[in-house]
Amino acid sequence: MAAVLLLRCGVRGGRRALRECETLCSRRCLKTSHKLYSAVYDPNEKTFEKLLIANRGEIACRVIKTCKKMGIKTVAIHSDVDANAVHVKMADEAVCVGPAPTSKSYLNMDAIMEVIKKTRAQAVHPGYGFLSENKEFARRLAAEGVTFIGPDTHAIQAMGDKIESKLLAKNAKVNTIPGFDGVVKDADEAVRIAREIGYPVMIKASAGGGGKGMRIAWDDEETREGFRFSSQEAASSFGDDRLLIEKFIDNPRHIEIQVLADKHGNALWLNERECSIQRRNQKVVEEAPSTFLDPETRRAMGEQAVALAKAVKYSSAGTVEFLVDSSKNFYFLEMNTRLQVEHPVTECITGLDLVQEMIRVAKGYPLRHKQADIPINGWAVECRVYAEDPYKSFGLPSIGKLSQYQEPLHVPSVRVDSGIEQGSDISIYYDPMISKLITYGSNRAEALRRMEEALDNYVIRGVTHNISLLREVIIHPRFVQGDISTKFLPEVYPDGFKGHQLTDRERRELLATAASLYVAEQLRSQRFLGTPRIPIAKSKRSSWELSVHLGDGIYPVAVSKDGSSFSVEVDGMKLNVTGEWNLASPLLSITIDGTQRTIQRLSRDASGKTSIQFLGTVVSEGQEICVIEAMKMQNSMIAAKTGKVKAVHCKAGDTVGEGDLLVELE
């Protein structure tokens, strides 16, 4: 029995869309070893006739796909700028709820409630973000007799309040970060408290902030010293020398447990997700399972997560997040009472469709599985693909139209959850996520190899994206070894992300590739529809002496052609480059001395200058030449080609209009 992977299928609504989506999904299914774990859709199990999705983008598309398989009609809501969005096209009905700003559309409860009444939707799935954890929205739905696909208002309230949730966690015997919330009197008491808590500890000012009056202590001596310095700093900085002590989590990992509970008192933990690769406290790469957890720690975390869910009478899919230290001690962070962005990796290793399970639970059905039935079957990795510039603080948003877009679905065991298509706009109004790229393997190494291949084969044009950062993360030795924490990005790239740093071998490969591509283009330009443009002028040329510009260097390269292969001499070494050289395709699969590479030919100007994406990083283009502020947002203007700035026709603070000449390049 197959566990269906829910792939992106940008097709229109209706029966044809369902057939195409089913065909596509069936081609990309992952085999499991036990029939219980397949996502089975029972047509005789009645749930809802019509469901409204109070969201947009990829998560709205994700919910619609499961609803179609369950025979549920769907209603999409959208803002005016999302009128042609993919989720709008996929749904059976779509209604505009307001203008672009979220406060006037996707957060507009009055407008959404009106659509629910108009379309007679029986249930609402909130996705994530927006109104997904809004207890008032859930309350209003309940008052109208509409089912909220999620927990009840009590659970949303309890887990949404950080103080209340921590108290509930303590009462449920869930590990919380230990600490002493009273005022520490002196150094001796500080040592006593630190010993009770367990080293290392954080000593910090009660009235502190900005890192002042804070010290980390690893033993009694450092505690005494830390007490003295912290109290002095606190008094001078805040006029208040009171101190607190709590457990310091060194090199923490962010590991979360997926839970699933019904209205009959049953609850399961569906294993963990490793979410430690983050920037600005937002996850970038996730995987399941974690390389760090042993079976005992996994079970302990799962059982505590279920205990918390039962304590608040939770019913739906939810996630309990933990911080885990280097000794595998784990501490409750928070509970998210909704479907998580990274839920696909859990679906891949368990075979469960979490959206389907949420809908079943909301209708009142009991869970179909027992804890012993939940497997860890293989390994899954998810990369969040964003329209962001990774060279700026690991990712600042980019806007624009997707002029070319091609998902790497031809790569085995790849799933892409997205809500965009070629021609879609990445606007300033919403999250700049392009997609969630997921790969699956029988083990972690296989999943990572497939992810590397998928990233190389992902074609995104028209916006800046973070593919280069994602690729560098998953091939970095520390990541491959599982040596990660929430500090991974700033530790590995202390001066910021700079793109892939070529080794000598990779530099030679790139030079050989560029030279071979140039020659292939020259030969193609001499032919028309497979026939020489001037039949009488037959060229017998088979060798070329070239100079290739790379960075600040100029490298002599000798190329000779033999059939579809090129022999390229670089640095006195010969490399054999072979490929089909289909120059009409954005992707080129080539082999260099037996090593397969997928490159992307991004552009070629009239002078023959070519931009190539090699090992995830764009060569030559993309230097920022000025910044324009529009709609209170700063927008980078990027150089379309490599060159020198000839003249600047504006200055900081000037108002510029469409068509104004700002910068000249030469």
Q: Which two tokens stand for residue 85?
A: 């969005």
The alpha carbon torsion through 232, 236, 237, 240 (nearest 10 deg) reads 70
Q: Which two tokens stand for residue 39?
A: 């996502």
Owner of token pair 């679905």: 409
Distance CA(439)–CA(412), nearest Å, equals 8
Q: What is the 3-state secondary structure (H, E, C) of 178-242?
A: CEECCCCCCHHHHHHHHHHHCCCEEEEEEEEECCEEEEEECCHHHHHHHHHHHHHHHHHHHCCCC
200: cis peptide before it, omega within 30°? yes
Distance CA(357)–CA(360), nearest Å, equals 5
Catalytic annotation, residues: 334
Those residues whose C-beta lies under 8 Å from the C-beta of residue 201, and which sit 6 or more positions away, are 193, 194, 216, 217, 223, 245, 246, 247, 248
CA distances from 359 to 119, 121, 278, 315, 353 (A): 19, 14, 30, 11, 10
Distance CA(218)–CA(199), nearest Å, equals 5
Nearest to 85 by CA among 417, 419, 403: 419
Indicate the pairing of strand 316-324 with strand 253-261: antiparallel
CA distances from 389 to 178, 269, 282, 486, 642 (A): 39, 36, 15, 20, 18
Q: Across the 666 residues of the chain, what is the mean pLDDT of every consecutive 10-residue run?
A: 27 37 34 42 92 98 97 98 97 98 96 98 97 96 98 94 84 90 85 94 74 85 93 80 85 96 98 95 94 98 98 98 94 94 97 97 97 96 96 89 96 97 94 96 98 97 95 97 96 94 93 90 72 55 85 89 90 94 90 94 73 81 37 41 70 65 76
| φ/ψ of residue 350, rounded to 5 | -110, -20
pTM: 0.81
Distance CA(236)–CA(258), nearest Å, equals 46
Those residues whose C-beta lies under 8 Å from the C-beta of residue 510, and which sit 6 or more positions away, are 502, 550, 612, 614, 619
pLDDT at 639: 54
On the CB side of 398, CA atoms within 13 Å amount to 27
Q: Exposure of 134 by Cβ count < 10 A (0-12 exposed, 13-18 middle, 19+ buried)?
A: middle
Q: Output DSSP code: residue 36.
A: G
Owner of token pair 């999705």: 53
Within 10 Å of residue 181's Cβ, how many Cβ atoms? 8
Q: Exposure of 220 by Cβ count < 10 A (0-12 exposed, 13-18 middle, 19+ buried)?
A: middle
Q: Helix 162-171 to helix 295-311 angle, to the nearest 10 degrees?
A: 110
Distance CA(614)–CA(609), nearest Å, equals 16
Q: Looking at this protein, which amino acid is placed at residue 275?
A: C
- Do 93 and 76 contact (CB within 8 A), yes or no? yes
Q: Exposure of 249 by Cβ count < 10 A (0-12 exposed, 13-18 middle, 19+ buried)?
A: buried
Indicate the pairing of strand 527-528 with strand 253-261: unpaired
Nearest to 552 by CA among 629, 619, 475: 619
- Do 624 and 398 contact (CB within 8 A), yes or no? no
Distance CA(575)–CA(597), nearest Å, equals 14
